[in-house]
Each structure stands twice: as C-alpha cells, then as structure tokens.
Amino acid sequence: VLCWFYVYPGYRLPRDKEIVEEVLRQGEVWQKNQTGIDLYRKLLTECCDPRRMFAVTKENSPMGKVLWYDGEFYHSHTVNNETYPLFVQSCTFPSAQENPLQLPLKKCAVVGNGGILRHSKCGQDIDQADFIMRCNLPPISKEYVEDVGTRTHLVTANPSIIEKRFQNLLWSRKAFVDKMKVYGSSYIYMPAFSMKPGTDPSLRAYYALADTSSNLTMLFANPEFLRTVGKFWKTRGVHAKRLSTGLFLVSLALGLCEEVIAYGFWPFSVGLDEQPVSHHYYDNILPYKWFHAMPEEFVQLWHLHKTGTLRMRVGRCP
Ligand code: CDP
C-alpha cells in the first residue's frame, strides 16, 4: 500500500487502517541494509551537515554571524557578546562533560512520544542503546520506565513547554531545575532561534541550568540545520509547516549514528490490535491539525524501515 507513494504522482496518503494492514503484513521482518545506511548518511551530510551544524556552536556561529530564524520570515539574531559565550565550542565538544559526544555514535535510539509505547515493554530495549534521544522533556518516571526506559543522552525542549509548564521561568526556576534531574547529564536541545518568542525562554532555561551547576549541557538547535532538514524531507513528500521534533531527531541520528532504532512513532488512532491508541504515551492531547504532517512522516520512516536503513519498533518489544 505504502509503495503507491513512490509510483503514482496523484498520491493519496493511506488511511490509518491501510497502514495497520501494511505494518502487520511486514511483521517483525527487518534486515539491516548497510548500503541504505551509508546512502542516507551521505545524503544528509550533503544537504545538512549534521555533524557540524546541528547545534549553534562557537565554531559555526562566531561573533557577528547572522542567524536567520527558520520558523519566521525575515527575523534574525546577530551573535553578540551576550549570546556567543552561551554556545558550546563545537558539535563534538570533547571533554565538555562526562559524556562527550564521540562520533560516530554506534546504536542510537530515537524515542518519539506516541501512545503506542504504552504497555510496549520497550524500556530495556531502549536503555541498551549507546545514545538515546527523547522529545519535548517527556515523563520517564517510575510508571513509564518499563515502556520507555530510564537513560537519556539528548532531550529536546520546545520553548512553549518552558512557557506552559514553568511560567516561562519568570517565577521560580527550582521546579524546572529539579524536573531536569531525571535526564541525568544529557544534552538539552532547544530551538532558541526558530521562532521569535522562543528565544528569551531558551536563554532563561540556559541560565537556570548554568546558575545551578546542573549536569545538563544546553545546545541551541541551529536554525540553518533545521531549515535544510525541512527542505530535505519536503523533496521527499513531507509537506508540513514544520517537521515534527521526532523527524528532526531521526535525521540527526541518521547523520550521526551507525544504527538507528525509532520507538514511539505512531501518529494513528488505532493500534496493530485495532484498539484505540492515545496520541502520547502519557496523555491524549492532540497537536494542531495542520502544523505537522506526522502520518506523511510515518510513511517516509516506514519506507526507511522496509529498506533496512533504520528500524522502527511499532509493536511490543520481545
Ligand atoms: O513537538 P511535537 O508535536 O512534534 O512532538 P510530541 O507530540 O512531543 O512527540 C514527539 C515526536 O514523536 C513527534 O515529533 C513525532 O515525531 C512522534 N510522534 C509520533 O510519531 N506519533 C505520535 N502519536 C506522537 C508523536
């Protein structure tokens, strides 16, 4: 069913039920395809240079550099005395902390927030990866550990979360700093230069962590990287106002890791057992309808799964 996408120009997105059928037909069969892995790493390196560009660094964004926001028209930030010192030296940043990002990374797990993770028992599987990426400061408290694991190496944080959950950090910053402890000494990846209202909360998050000597290292997403990754997927049929956080991370992982396994990517309301599935593993709050195109993204990811370039876990883990 999903192959229609590649054959017919008058493509229509398969319905949820068709996707379930297609995934069930494929079953657990998966075979690694080194050629596919190498090809995607090459394509992503050529378009987006994730190794050098995924974060704003002192190296790629020196003083005076103009950072053009990827989520706004004609809005920019010129790197200055106030922002330059907040950037890490480079994307490999050796000895920056206990857990330096040694490239290439071996086995990477990208954990989406899909409700399909609930009762998946994938926690142990996820925790076995060498580098674990999570989206939007998700809960990894006791009740979810069995399904989503405990370890984290990189976690994204949307500035809107800072606004909604932590009063924009204008009041107490303790709740924020305490909540972050569950992510250990991971990187926190924030799109500080994507949308204008997101910059201040991101900088405040930086200071909240830095002032309390937190173990987390702040990385600001490089808007140029986000823009080029957006274009990369647009030419492959993902037409959204903005890519979902999960697809940005998968793109990053395909560029940085030898092996990528994706969990929690299932933007459909029914599961493989035809039972209802919530949007997130921890709630059922739906996204703005036309903002992301998660089902289109899923079709792309499933294609990569079928061709052995990355592995998707959509069922329960063994
Ligand atoms: O910020 P965003 O709305 O993109 O993400 P989220 O709802 O916090 O979920 C994190 C990521 O998991 C998304 O960006 C999607 O890539 C993926 N996801 C999915 O594939 N299916 C779902 N039902 C929910 C999330």
The complex scores an ipTM of 0.99
Asked if residues 222 and 87 have their Cβ atoms less than 8 Å apart, the reply is no
pLDDT at 282 over 50: yes
33 exposed, middle or buried (CB, 10 Å; 0-12, 13-18, 19+)? middle
- Would you tell me how many other CB atoms lie within 10 Å of the CB of residue 237? 16
235 CA distance to ligand 1 middle (Å) = 21
Q: What is the mean pLDDT of residues 39-57?
A: 96
Higher pLDDT, 299 or 292: 299
269 CA distance to ligand 1 middle (Å) = 13
Average pLDDT, rounded, for the chain: 91
- What is the torsion angle, in degrees rounded to the nearest 10, for the CA atoms of residue 159, residue 161, residue 278 and residue 135? 50
158 CA distance to ligand 1 middle (Å) = 12
pLDDT at 15 over 80: no
pLDDT at 125 over 90: yes
Nearest Cα residue to atom 8 of ligand 1: 136
292 CA distance to ligand 1 middle (Å) = 9
Ligand 1 neighbours by CB, cut-off 6 Å: 112-115, 135-136, 158, 244-247, 264-267, 279-280, 287, 292, 294
Atom of ligand 1 nearest to the CA of 277: 23
Nearest Cα residue to atom 6 of ligand 1: 113
267 CA distance to ligand 1 middle (Å) = 8
Nearest Cα residue to atom 19 of ligand 1: 265
Q: What is the pTM of this model?
A: 0.93
Calculate the alpha carbon distances from 59 to 12, 55, 69, 193, 318 in Å.
43, 10, 19, 17, 43
Higher pLDDT, 188 or 2: 188
| CA–CA dist 155, 148 (Å, integer) | 13
- At position 62, the amino acid (one-letter code) is P
Lowest average pLDDT, out of 26-35, 39-48, 96-105, 113-122, goes to 96-105
Atom of ligand 1 nearest to the CA of 138: 8
217 CA distance to ligand 1 middle (Å) = 23
